Amino acid sequence: MKKQPNNAHKGLLAGGNWIIDQVKIIDAYPQPEQLSNIRSESLGTGGAPYNVLIDLAKSEAGFPLLAAGMVGQDNLGEHIRRDCRAHHIDIRHLNTTTKAPTSYTDVMTELGDGRRTFFHARGANALWLGADLDFEKTRPRIFHLGYLLLLDALDEPDAKYGTKAARLLAGAQAAGVKTSVDVVSENSDRFPKIVCPALKHVDYCILNEIEAGKTTGFKVRQPDGKLDTVTIRHAAGSLLQNGVRELVVIHFPEGAFARTRKGEDIWQSSLKLPPKYVVGTAGAGDAFCAGVLLGLHEGWPLQRCLLTGVCIAAASLSDATCTAGVKPLAKSMALAKKFGFGPALDKE
């Protein structure tokens, strides 16, 4: 039986980082002062809101998609706005500025294994505070914000809420909107300081295992690189203890794990994809997130949400850019039947 959606509002509003990915396929990442050949290059989407909204549009989500953020008044900014319009994404809250250029990332993707290295220009995203958002008027069902740790103005301290991002999320919840966050993977000790204040105003926390580990302090992989499923559970529990209201989802190459506030635990293995299928891994996390948010918006059972997430993520892996590989939902879901799943994850 289909569950009722979480509130009477409709649509998904996604705000945060709007980035153009300049993807270059290279032989291998070079050592200092050595050369690597660029085999091909392309422009792609980047940033949590951009990737998630395009993935939902390409998956033919049957609800409104709304964009929020800031781009420069330049060619890359116009490219983003034009792309959103082409995918029927509402851009009334996607602002432009002359104070900074549109953010971009040079993504160096290694031929063969799809391993990526990023060179990022923060640009206009660093200025965005979401001050123009009126959640009472937009009335989305879900507000998805990402990436914490890569939104300079929103990562700033706030006397009442801890961070400006936490204040923005609290405002959404006060208007009856469900909130969701994602975090950027960075090698720093800023996670507890920046991420934890926001968790008190988050309904759905969707992170990868690296981000979950750095936020909670748990080592989620064993010394040999194997996923530590016991610690994954502990990390999810810690995120809930830090304030997440309803649901924590932790995703990783092997699959995903979800824990609810009510104590329900669900595992989902990723698809067993042949090596030659994977062209690039950029955007796979956002594609997974899009699938989970699609299901949450529609009130689907949580197992179906995770399955949808791993299938859309698998589709995204077929292209070097973040979103070009994503297909209509039925085609993404068909990948599960075509390839099957990897090893079952620990359920003990």
338 versus 2: which is more confidently predicted?
338
Q: CA angle, 128 as apex, 126 and 177 as ends, to 5°?
A: 130
Is the bond preceding 147 in cis, omega lying within 30 degrees of 0? yes
Q: Report percent pLDDT > 70 for the chain.
A: 97
Task: Determine which helix (DSSP H) or strand (DSSP E) holds 22, and give its type and residue range.
Answer: strand 19-26
Per-residue model confidence as pLDDT tens digits over 86-120: 999 999 999 999 999 999 999 898 987 778 788 99
Per-residue model confidence as pLDDT tens digits over 20-59: 999 899 999 999 999 999 999 988 999 999 999 999 999 9
Task: Determine which helix (DSSP H) or strand (DSSP E) holds 95, and give its type and residue range.
Answer: strand 90-97
The set of residues, in sequence order, having a beta carbon less than 8 Å from that of 159 and lying 6+ positions away, is: none
Q: What's the helix, strand, coil split of the chain in %, to 5?
A: 35, 25, 40
Please tell me whether residue 169 adopts helix, strand or coil conformation. Answer: helix
In this structure, the number of other CB atoms found within 10 A of the CB of residue 315 comes to: 28
Contact 318, 312 (CB under 8 A): no
In this structure, the number of other CB atoms found within 10 A of the CB of residue 341 comes to: 15
DSSP string, 171-221: HHHHTT-EEEEEE---SSS-HHHHHHHHHTT-SEEEEEHHHHHHHH----B
d(CA 103, CA 122): 5
Give residue 7's pLDDT. Answer: 60
Per-residue model confidence as pLDDT tens digits over 194-204: 999 999 999 99
The set of residues, in sequence order, having a beta carbon less than 8 Å from that of 331 and lying 6+ positions away, is: 315
Delimit the domains of the chain by residue range. 15-339
Mean pLDDT of 180-208: 96
Judged against a pLDDT cut of 60, whether residue 76 lies above it is answered with yes
Give residue 119's pLDDT. Answer: 93
Q: For 116, what's the count of Cα atoms within 13 Å in the CB-facing half-sphere? A: 22
The pTM score is 0.93
- What are 250's strand-pairing partners? 207, 257
Give residue 2's pLDDT. Answer: 45
d(CA 241, CA 248): 11
Q: Report percent pLDDT > 90 for the chain.
A: 89
CATH class of 15-339: alpha beta
Per-residue model confidence as pLDDT tens digits over 239-259: 999 999 999 999 999 999 999
Mean pLDDT of 281-310: 97
